[in-house]
Structure 1
Amino acid sequence: MKQKKNLIAALALGMTSFAYADVTLYGRIHMDLESTKAGTTETPSLSKVQNDASRIGFKGSEDLGNGLKAIWQVESGVSVDAGGGTWASRESFLGLSDATFGTLKAGNFLVPYDDLHYIAGNNFQQGTGISNDAAMWANGGDLKTGGFDTRLGNSISYQTPKYKGFSSRIQYSLTTDATNGKEAKSNGASVVSANVLYDDGPLRVGYGFQNNRDMQGLSSNFYEDGTAHMLAAGYVFGDFYLGGLYEHIKLENINNSGNDRSRNYYGAMASYTAGLNVFSAQFGKAASWTGAAGVADSGARMGSIAYNRILSKTTQVYALYTLMHNDDNAGYVLGSNAVQPGAGAVMSKQHSIAIGMWKNF
């Protein structure tokens, strides 16, 4: 009898392992050597080996029948330059997916506003790193300072199926109230983000919208509500790709004054592929904040040029140069989130040279 029980247990264990044999291990290791300088000629350069959003993840699905699947993913950031990382700190979720009805998931993931970044973003550095145009586009990724390009936990998202090139996604997130830690709309901030995308053949066109709501507690009363609208488009002309975007951001009730401020951003990028060589350039301009709570001379400009060498389908090396120029009262920072305009702590001119490599697996 004991041998029979052991045999049944062994068979059950084997069946469990077989049922989850479709689990996929994946990730990316991305590092570069950077030399960054800000300010006057007397300011020393900062050189470092930089980890650029390296990650490792596990994902899988289970066929539930009639076209329905259970899907899951756990993705963690890893600091391969110095060690460390946080479990499930990146795209992590549990959900249901159906080819006819779409995908519903809950967890921690980037907002739909970010989904459109690939149309006109810094693809030559995988949308991360010192050349990341999200330093100005979307006003960065920190909700506390009015940013919109962010990853949010406590989120629910619905993604439509793709139909003749069209798709859409909407996400609702309950963020944690900085005052009492409760995760409820009545007690803390919340975010609604959505997009509509057409991507078929050589043409890509996307519209993104996001509303950051009830942000007083989270932002230490810097602003109450924030709204962002973005229109992006890109087109493939043989070996050339051209992309561009326009964005309008509005922040309301600045510092409990009852006054608002708004800002426009314009961006463009181009790339040319010659065999295994890719040459790219990108430029973005953030206008000054205007309105009753506007800040004069708070605009900035940022540009990058890059060369990528394709070593395989999953491996590339690159070299790039990035320059940012802040107006007198601007607060944008290369490779980071902006500070509040007028803070006076950011150097007007920042530039960086980077040589890097990424490997997907």
Structure 2
Amino acid sequence: MQKKIIALAIAAAVSAPAFADNSNVTIYGQARVSFDLVNTGANAAGTAGVSANKVSSNTSRLGLKGSEDLGDGLAAIWQIEQQIDIDTGANTLATRNTFAGLKNESAGTVLMGRHDTPYKLATRKLDMFADTIADNRSLMGGVSATNIAAATLAANGKSVGSSFDGRPTNVLAYISPAMSGFTAAAAYVAGAETATAGQIKGNAWSVAGMYDAAPFYGSLAYENHKLGSVGSGTVAAPGAALNVAGLTESAWKIGAGYTIDAFTLGFAYERTNDNFGAAGANFLGHNAYYLSGKYSFGTDAVKLAYTKVGKLGAAVNTDAKQFSLGYDHNLSKRTTLFALYTKLSNGTAVNYGLSTNGTGGNNTQNGAGASPSAWSFGMNHTF
């Protein structure tokens, strides 16, 4: 018996430092679930819309993060974050911002891993309906639809080769400290890490400047993609049917937000360009803008937003617009009930769908000219 007690004491002494090291770990996340009533809307060819009801997880997430003080203002930092699909239970580890790096209060942060690009960070906070089916990334950031044939590219809603509002892997990023409200960020995305001989290796650059000093927020961002061979890496060509490997696309945008008393206003404008067309012509380049407003009273808020995307290159009737209206009721600082309605109206030669960012893959595309819409009723709890 005495030997067992001594063995347990030794084991406890050896394992104690490991438990002490875990004291810097923070667990965080959000559970955002909703019941959605979706209709794909009739298209320009007269095909009737289809209705569907579903439970959506809306980018529910779970994360772990921590840091170690290394002295002289330097700290080692890390984070592992994953999307949690509450509606289906189909989850994969480290699908969201996951990285390790070094942080200095006066010099800034350097990190490597998977992370939102500075271009994305520049205006995400302006989206009143972020991470719901009314998310403005239905039309903003460049929409990369799947299963696209070259002959029907525009008609299927493809607007860029690789999303500009993305969270790529293989990122090396720097984020400056806040200097009188101003923060700068830059990132390099290494593509085609496993490329074979003869493949073109893609890559991307992204930079942004953000000024955040209440009541005003402003941002300016730029991103450039060199597209690689199909399937060769993180910055890939749109599809085998469209040979753009080695070509480039770029985007810039400006964002602004202002809060005065109970009113919050938001605006974002972006422009994309490419050389995908004949003789380097702009093939899918387009402009898009977003307007939003919120009125808060007590524990409630009314929100509305309007998004507009112009034609793709020279293709006529490839514009689209989206209107969203919502109501929030805060049960506490961490729990909110919400209801919203959103409708997207396509031009007769384009087929955008409502946002699938975090909603579990709502497929609301029904062909060119369709006008998909949705009601969504849910709750969001942060922890």
Q: TM-score, normalised by structure 1?
A: 0.89
Q: Deviations over 1:42-66 (max 9, x none)?
A: 4331111111111111110000011
Residues 119, 243 of structure 1: 8 Å contact kept: no
Task: Check 1:197–1:213 CA distance in 2 against 1; reply closer, same or farther (3 A cut).
Answer: same
Q: Deviations over 1:296-345 (max 9, x none)?
A: 111101110000001111111100000110101123110138xxxxx993
Aligned pairs, how many? 345
Superposition map of 1:86-97 within 5 A: 86-97=92-103
Greater RCO structure (CA 8 Å; 6+ sep): 2
The residue aligned with 2:304 is 281
Tell me the equivalent position of 1:205.
218
1:101 aligns with 2:107: yes
Deviation at 1:141, TM superposition (A): 6.1
| Worse overlay, 2-11 or 152-161 | 2-11
8 Å CA contact 2:216–2:257 kept in 1: the answer is: yes
Q: In structure 2, what is the Cα distance between the partners aligned to 1:141 and 1:114? A: 15
The structural deviation recorded for 1:163 is 0.7
**AA aligned opposite 2:378:** G
Identity of aligned residues (%): 27
Counterpart of 1:194? 207
Q: Structure 1 residue aligned with 2:330, among 310, 314, 325?
A: 310
Higher strand share: 1
**Equivalent residue for 2:32?**
30
CA distance in 1, matches of 2:310, 2:23: 52
The residue aligned with 2:151 is none
Match of 1:351 in 2: 373
Rounded to whole Å, the distance in 1 between the matches of 2:171 and 2:207 is 13
Q: Is the 1:321–1:351 Cα contact (8 Å) retained in structure 2? A: yes
- How many Å separate the matches in 1 of 2:179 and 2:338? 35
Pairing partner for 1:250 from 255, 273, 281: 273
SS of equivalent to 1:81: coil
Determine the C-alpha separation between the residues in 1 that align with 2:268 and 2:48. 36
Separation of aligned partners in 2, 1:135 and 1:146 = 14
SS in 2 for 1:153: coil
- Unpaired runs of 5+ residues, structure 1, are 338-342
Structure 1 CA distance, aligned partners of 2:353 and 2:18? Answer: 50
How big is the shift at 1:157? 0.6
Structure 2 gap ranges (5+): 146-158, 231-235, 358-364
CA contact under 8 A between 1:288 and 1:299: conserved in structure 2?
yes
Bigger CA drift: 131-140 or 142-151?
A: 142-151
Counterpart secondary structure, 1:11: helix
Counterparts of 2:280 and 2:59, CA distance in 1: 38
